[in-house]
Structure 1
Amino acid sequence: MTSSAEPLAAPAASLSTWPKFAIAFALLGLADALFYDQPAGLSFAIFAAALVAASLLVNHASIDRPRMMLATFTLVVGLLPAIEDFTLLSVASVVLATLSAIALSTNPNARGLRLPLTAARQLLLIGPLRLIPDAIATIRAHDFTRLLLTWSIPLALGLVFVLLFAAANPVIEQWLDQLRPQSAVTNLNFGRPIFWFLMLSLIWPFIHLRWPQRTTTPSLPISLPIDALTEQATSVVAPILGPQTVVRSLLLFNLLFAIQTVLDGVYLWGHVVLPNGMTYATYAHRGAYPLIVTALLAAGFVIIAVRSQHEDEPRLIRPLVYLWVAQNLMLVVSSIQRVHIYVQTYLLTYWRIAAVIWMALVAVGLILIVIRIALDRPTAWLVRMNLMTLAAALYGCALVNFAGVIADYNVSHSREAGRSGATIDMQYLASLGPPALPALQRAMLLSHEPTLSGIYDRLREQQANDMANWRSWTFRGWRLQRYLDTHPFSHTPS
């Protein structure tokens, strides 16, 4: 969060951390009453005044008495525009006055232009990120809460994975619907907890003040090596992901993923009859994208969890990590199979091709994570290998005629061709441009749709214009023109 050149001053020991959290939650209750689902106006000025008062009350030991009068005057002047009217300018005035009043009162090193800038950085940019580490440090100081912490991370992340699996798998969704009362589902409001968390993150740095100490050492460069940035991030999460927490998380996650893997094996690969009212296309489409999000979250957890372990790493962690990555790879393969089933039913599009390519990149990324762990490579190596893989994939995609592939697949697997796919989407076929002309010729032989003739003539004219001007000449276009010249096709114009 901060460089070694600018250490944070320890907060004044006027109150312990637990009372500070109590006051922060009291302010959170005030914020909920003033702001949540309510129009803003005078409430903004009231909350700003309460926030400053609570901050000075908690941190009274560090107050600079001579500057208190100026701080009070600054706050009053800054609140007046918000009392007059609630506009963007009045909001900016209140924020600036609040930051300046607290900095004037409690930070003797901040003067002149440095005062609001330092306050904005510490209280609005860096400060909100300290809520979770400070809460973890407070909880870990007590035996009982430390025990709760080792289970809270696995259970919280496990709940996230369960919700993603429910979004991806209608079978799991049905199971959850049977476990929870319908009233609880209908009354569940996800917006309010998010509001509480964001507001508490904003309130906490004002209550638990920590100002940077003045130093003559040069500041840290803006750009840091990847591994240095990773070490900084690891120093924040290491207290959270202790060895016991990681082991319990991996045990729980492997169990949850095993349930999803078994269900995919039964329904997706084994083609067992689905529950009533559910088709294989629905089952496939529901899970393609949420499962990729799940795999990405799992990959991030693996990088952080294994990174935070060193000589004291329990022997059980790495086998559990390898097992979980293997299940994630199976999850990605299942996602590709889901897209394949969906394409068989509803034909091909650019986005469905992009989804498969993205899933393949995720699979390669998971394999690279295993290689990194096994060979003990640095994070910079993992980033470089993923960037090289991405660059190779993008370069390969630049050489593929996706429009021609999509058009050929959709015509060959359409209902008009006697296959189980959907009927040909003529408008989408036309949007693919001249590369769709060979497939369009076959579509005209299969279907007597009158609009096809007009689409064909328009695309032939576009192709001729592209080839007539040397500036728009391409090798792909030349190959298409050669095909059209060697495979003449006549039709009755519409």
Structure 2
Amino acid sequence: MTSLAPADATEIQPATTSSLPFKLAIVLALAALADFLFYNAWIGLSLAVFAIAVAGGSWLANRTTLDRRSTLVGAIVLLVGLVPAIEEVNTVSILFVIMALALGLLLATNPDTTTLGDGARALRNLFLFGPFRFFLEVLQIFSLSSFTRGIAAWFLPAVLSIVFIALFAAANPLIEQWVTLLNPKLILDYVSVGRILFWAMMLALIWPFIHVRWRKRRAKAVAEAAEQEPAVAARAEFLGAPTILRSLILFNVLFAAQSVLDALYLWGHAALPAGVSYATYAHRGAYPLIVTALLAAAFVLVAMRPGGPAEKSPVIRLLVYIWVGQNVLLVASSILRLDIYVAIYLLTYWRIAAFIWMGLVALGLVLIVARIMLERSNEWLVGANLIALTSVLYMASLVNFDAIIADYNVTHSREMSGKGVQIDVNYLSQLGPQALPAIEKVMQLRPNEACLVGRRDRLLERQRLDMASWRTWGFRSWRLQRRLDAQAKDPAKDPAKDLAKSPAAG
């Protein structure tokens, strides 16, 4: 390691475009090492090995700007921080490794850190903003010529298209089959949605330690502004109208393919190809498609930001409207898929929450279109979504979900309807006293089941205790008690008896 004598020479100069390919190669190598060490594997000594590798990569990428003494101190801090992880990997030791890496990097590469406040601000920027820099700064590589700038304009559309295809393949067995035909060994044995996301996360986390950029003091920031103009231009071109237009064309084509398949097989009930069952097609796609819609919404917000280059383009606005419409249809398909799943496997609190969440996602997409059409700010969009969320949560607080879940599960169970799954009495009893009317229906089908009687009696006792004092009184519990009292006085009015006499129940 070479020590630079002049004091000002220890300043970190902005990385030039010629150094970025070398740094990118280091980051890719470290991401590959992380894949080898961590993906689908238990973490132990591998954490310390990876931390040392990251520190070595950081030294290799920034060695010309380092001071020998501060680098030695940073290395000692790192080694001390690795000791707990070598002893035992747990939450605390992982935090020590992360902080030791950050402090070691700070000591070795940031001469502006003279006070505790400077260090705290630098670490805040490293952890809060550092992981978001990779996908923007790496595109500085493509600013070397008009040809490479053209490639850069396709970088974002291509990457996001691959992500969307991976999500569609996870949600749709037909698309999965088509993707598999491209290269079965690569797709099935190695590449997966989880692995792609793992690599993206590791690249974003490692990049700040390799391409080091601390926030400068104001005087230095002014002096460096001129040198950073090419990078700013590259980022502007990266998010410019040509890139957004290319992205929207590709995305609309991809989403149209998924929408056509859903229209044929999910909504139209067309005959599926051999080897693909309707249940498989309907059940597996609800949650990946919601993730897809959320990514789409994030892209629209970035692409159509107020004052951005794409906001005034009629063609881009039309493509955005079409794409958002396709995303709303995608959310509707997700709701239908979940509805089919619930019809077979019955209701739970999480499935009700999924229905509500999907509705909010659809509403959020509509509000994004409203923001664009009305030319409102992102603050208006956030406020509208918060109002919608608050309203939905307020209404949900007034709904007796315990009774709805219990009644639905009993009515649509195999014992009552002749299809679906059997009644889960354990889950019904966990819903509390509000499930008593539904449990009474079950008792008509299983009159001699002692376990069921015991559960009913415990819920009755809990209901009695809730009504015994004004401190635990609730209007919902009071309504339930009135129903139970009326049923006790006149058992002939019990609707469960009529259900028990139905042909399906027999």
Do they fold alike, i.e. is TM over 0.5? yes
2:83 & 2:289 partners in 1: Cα distance?
Answer: 51
What does residue 177 of structure 1 align with?
Answer: 180
Does the CA-based 8 Å contact 1:41-1:83 persist in structure 2?
yes
Once the 2 structures are TM-superposed, how far is the Cα of residue 398 of structure 1 from its aligned partner? Answer: 0.6
The equivalent of 2:133 in structure 1 is: 130
Partner secondary structure for residue 487 of structure 1 = helix
Q: Mark the CA change 1:254 to 1:486 in structure 2 (over 3 Å): closer, same or farther.
A: same
1:34-72 Cα offsets, whole Å, 9 max, x none, are 995273658855763663364242x4xxx8xxxx56436
Shift of 1:346: 1.6
C-alpha deviation, 1:337, in angstroms: 1.0
CA drift at 1:312: 7.5
1:371 aligns with 2:370: yes
Task: Report deviation, 1:129.
Answer: 3.8
Q: Distance in 1 between matches of 2:253 and 2:356?
A: 28
**What pairs with 1:258-273 in structure 2 (closer than 5 Å)?**
258-273=256-271
Q: Is residue 130–residue 205 contact of structure 1 (8 Å, CA) maintained in 2?
A: no
1:399: how far off? Answer: 0.5
1:212 aligns with 2:211: no
With over 3 angstroms needed to count, the CA separation of the structure-2 counterparts of 1:313 and 1:149, relative to structure 1, is farther
Partner of 2:361: 362
Structure 1 position 409 matched with structure 2 position 415: no
The question of whether the paired residues in 2 share the 8 Å contact of 1:137 and 1:239 is answered with: no
The 1:323/1:80 distance shift into structure 2, 3 A limit, reads: closer
Q: Deviations over 1:167-191 (max 9, x none)?
A: 1111211222223223552134727
Task: Indicate conservation of the 8 Å contact 1:52/1:102, yes or no.
Answer: no
Residues 1:47 and 1:241: Cα distance change in structure 2 (over 3 Å): closer
For 1:339 and 1:94, the matched residues in 2 are separated by 44
Which position in structure 1 is the counterpart of 2:59?
A: 52
**What residue in structure 2 maps to residue 484 of structure 1?**
484
User: What's the secondary structure of 1:272's corresponding residue?
Assistant: coil
Structure 2 distance, partners of 1:317, 1:348, is 41
Deviations, residues 291-349 of structure 1 (Å, cap 9, x unaligned): 11111111111111111634874321111111111111111111111111112112222
- 1:166 is the counterpart of 2:169: yes
1:99 corresponds in structure 2 to 106
Deviates more, 1:316-325 or 1:18-27: 18-27
* C-alpha separation in 1, matches of 2:202 and 2:310: 39
Alpha-carbon deviation of 1:82?
7.6
- 1:287-298 to 2 correspondence within 5 Å? 287-298=285-296
Equivalent residues in 2 for 1:77-156 (5 A)?
Answer: 78=77, 81=80, 96-103=103-110, 107=111, 109-113=112-116, 116-117=119-120, 120-121=123-124, 126-156=129-159
Q: Are residues 199 and 440 of structure 1, via their aligned partners in 2, closer, same or farther at CA, if it must alter by over 3 Å?
A: closer
Q: Partners of 2:442 and 2:49 in 1: how far apart?
A: 66
Distance 1:45 1:355 in 2: 42
Report deviation, 1:284. Answer: 2.2
Segment of structure 1 superposing worse, 32-41 or 369-378: 32-41
Distance 1:424 1:143, change over 3 A: same
Asked if the contact 1:17–1:138 (Cα under 8 Å) also holds between the matched residues in 2, the reply is yes
**Higher mean displacement: 411-420 or 141-150:** 411-420
Query: How high is the TM-score relative to the length of structure 1?
Result: 0.80
Q: Distance in 2 between matches of 1:90 and 1:348?
A: 43
Per the alignment, do residues 387 and 79 of structure 1 end up closer, same or farther by CA in structure 2, a change over 3 Å counting? closer
Structure 2 CA distance for partners of 1:459 and 1:93, relative to 1, 3 Å: closer
In 2, Cα distance between equivalents of 1:12 and 1:195:
26
* Contiguous gaps of at least 5 residues in structure 1: 1-8, 218-233
Q: Secondary structure at the match of 2:415?
A: helix
* Shift in CA distance, 41/139, structure 1 to aligned 2, threshold 3 Å: same
Alpha-carbon shift at residue 199 of structure 1 (Å)? 6.0
Residues 381-392 of structure 1: pairs in structure 2 closer than 5 A: 381-392=380-391
TM superposition shift of 1:422? 2.1
Note the C-alpha offset of 1:163: 1.0
Tell me: CA distance 1:449–1:416, structure 2 relative to 1, closer, same or farther (3 Å): farther
What does residue range 197-208 of structure 1 map to in structure 2 within 5 Å?
Answer: 197-198=203-204, 200-206=206-212
Structure 1 stretch displaced more, 128-137 or 256-265: 128-137
What SS does the corresponding residue of 2:296 show, helix, strand or coil?
A: helix
The one-letter amino acid paired with 1:372 is: R
Q: Does 1:453 align with 2:457?
A: no
- Tell me the matched-pair count: 452
For 1:194 and 1:311, the matched residues in 2 are separated by: 27
Q: Deviations over 1:145-177 (max 9, x none)?
A: 111122121111111111111111112112222
How far does residue 282 in structure 1 lie from its aligned partner after superposition?
Answer: 2.9
Deviation string 1:96-125 (CA, Å, 9 cap, x unpaired) is: 34422333xxx4x54354664465456565
Preserved contact between residue 286 and residue 338 of structure 2 (Cα < 8 Å): yes
Aligned AA for 2:155?
Answer: S
- Cα distance 1:304–1:32, how it changes in 2: closer, same or farther (>3 A)? closer
Q: How far is 1:16 from its partner?
A: 3.5
SS at the partner of 2:285? helix
- In the TM superposition, residue 240 of structure 1 has moved relative to its aligned partner by 2.2
1:229 equivalent in structure 2? none
Counterpart CA distance in 1 for 2:354 and 2:60 is: 52
Q: Percent identity?
A: 42
Checking the alignment, whether the CA contact within 8 Å between 1:24 and 1:200 is kept in structure 2 is no
Q: Distance in 1 between matches of 2:304 and 2:459?
A: 55
SS at match of 1:39: helix
- Which letter does structure 2 place at the counterpart of 1:256? L
Name the CA distance, whole Å, in 2 between partners of 1:426 and 1:82.
Answer: 51
Q: In 1, are the aligned partners of 2:171 and 2:286 still within 8 Å (CA)?
A: yes
Q: 1:372 to 1:39 in 2, by over 3 A?
A: closer
The code of the aligned residue for 1:435 comes to Q
Q: Which amino acid aligns with 1:202?
A: P
Q: Kindly tell me: are residues 139 and 396 of structure 1, through their superposed partners in 2, closer, same or farther at Cα, counting changes over 3 Å? A: same
* Letter in structure 1 aligned against 2:249: L
SS at match of 2:419: coil
Seen in structure 2, the aligned counterparts of structure 1 residues 292 and 92 have a Cα distance that, compared at 3 Å, is closer
2:239 pairs with 204, 222, 241, which one? Answer: 241
234-243 or 245-254: which moved more? 234-243
Could you say what the CA RMSD is over the residues aligned between the two structures, in angstroms?
3.6
3-state SS in 2 of match to 1:294: helix
The residue type equivalent to 2:257 in the other structure is: I
Aligned partners of 1:422 and 1:83: how far apart in 2?
51
Provide the C-alpha distance between the structure 2 equivalents of 1:22 and 1:304, rounded to a whole number of angstroms: 29
Counterpart of 1:258, as a letter, is: A
